[in-house]
């Protein structure tokens, strides 16, 4: 069941299921909370209360907003956590929302107990000519840039085909049709383009301020980077020492949680288990 929260500038849609420690799931641009349709029930079965959020401009959230920055999205996610009792919550962010989760954890450490970043855009990006020699990166970026520049739903669908290499969800056609239908609603493509043009420098500037554990999950075939392992390692290295951990999922693209939900949930649950020293303390 969809619930709604009024925040400054609009309304955020979300759904909640389960009981236990709170986990909040935030998707990437051009998507909706349905990106976590395979993850949410697995986390609920593991004993968690799980909230899946539609980002501003996406899904069932209101379409028209003054800004699409990661900082603004972080504020929305913190508002949802406060509304749901103040946590502390585990905040899971995919792609753009990975950067928003970083900012949220740095801003309100009392509300965030841990962060999971899936294929995150959390650092300022630098274009390297040599990256274009990597075929999957070249294919993904050309489609992504075209979808943004032209406001093209077909190019976004084409990008998604590259972003899901090999393994596709059983409901793949339905997923593409659902996202295409959402992007054709008034104001949704504007939100997509606003997010695509929002640089992650604000998130990168806060990596050193995070005080909770952070799990970064990257797919080995993620087309958004020529070297996904190097990007994930750079995020971990920018965090305070000992807080970050990088896990790679072999064969996954930019949506590891949708291609390999069992692996992603297993990594998350292991990451969230209390360490023996902490338990004794």
The DSSP code sequence of 198-247 is --THHHHTTGGG--S-EEEEEETT-TT-S-HHHHHHHHHHHSPTTSEEEE
Domains and CATH numbers, the chain: 3-280 (3.40.50.1820)
Q: Phi first, then psi: what are they for 146, rounded to 5°?
A: -65, -40
The angle, 0 to 180 degrees and rounded to 10, between the axes of the packed helices 135-150 and 188-196 is 130
Full-model pTM? 0.95
- Residue 126: per-residue pLDDT: 79
Q: Tell me which residues of the chain have a pLDDT lower than 50.
A: 278-281
| pLDDT for the residue numbered 275 | 59
């Amino acid at each position: 069941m969809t619930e709604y929260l009024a925040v400054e500038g609009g309304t955020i849609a979300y759904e909640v299921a389960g009981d236990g420690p709170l986990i909040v799931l935030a998707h990437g641009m051009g998507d909706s909370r349905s990106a976590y349709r395979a993850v949410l029930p697995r986390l609920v079965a593991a004993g968690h209360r799980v909230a899946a959020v539609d980002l501003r401009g996406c899904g069932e959230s209101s379409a028209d907003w003054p800004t699409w920055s990661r900082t603004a999205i972080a504020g929305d996610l913190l508002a949802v956590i406060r509304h749901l009792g103040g946590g502390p919550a585990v905040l899971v962010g995919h792609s753009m929302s990975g950067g928003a989760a970083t900012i949220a954890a740095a801003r309100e450490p009392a509300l965030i107990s841990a962060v999971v970043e899936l294929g995150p855009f959390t650092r300022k990006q630098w274009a390297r000519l040599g990256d274009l020699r990597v075929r999957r990166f070249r294919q993904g970026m050309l489609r992504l840039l075209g979808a943004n520049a032209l406001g093209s739903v077909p190019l976004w669908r084409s990008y998604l085909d590259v972003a899901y290499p090999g393994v596709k969800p059983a409901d793949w056609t339905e997923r593409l049709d659902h996202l295409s239908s959402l992007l054709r609603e008034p104001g949704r493509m504007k939100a997509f383009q606003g997010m695509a043009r929002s640089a992650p420098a604000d998130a990168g500037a806060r990596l050193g301020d995070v005080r909770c554990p952070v799990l970064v999950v990257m797919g080995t075939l993620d087309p958004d980077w020529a070297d996904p392992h190097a990007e994930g390692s750079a995020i971990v290295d920018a965090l305070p020492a000992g807080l970050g951990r990088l896990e790679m999922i072999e064969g996954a693209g930019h949506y590891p949680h949708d291609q390999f939900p069992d692996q992603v949930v297993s990594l998350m649950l292991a990451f969230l288990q209390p360490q023996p020293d902490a338990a004794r303390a």
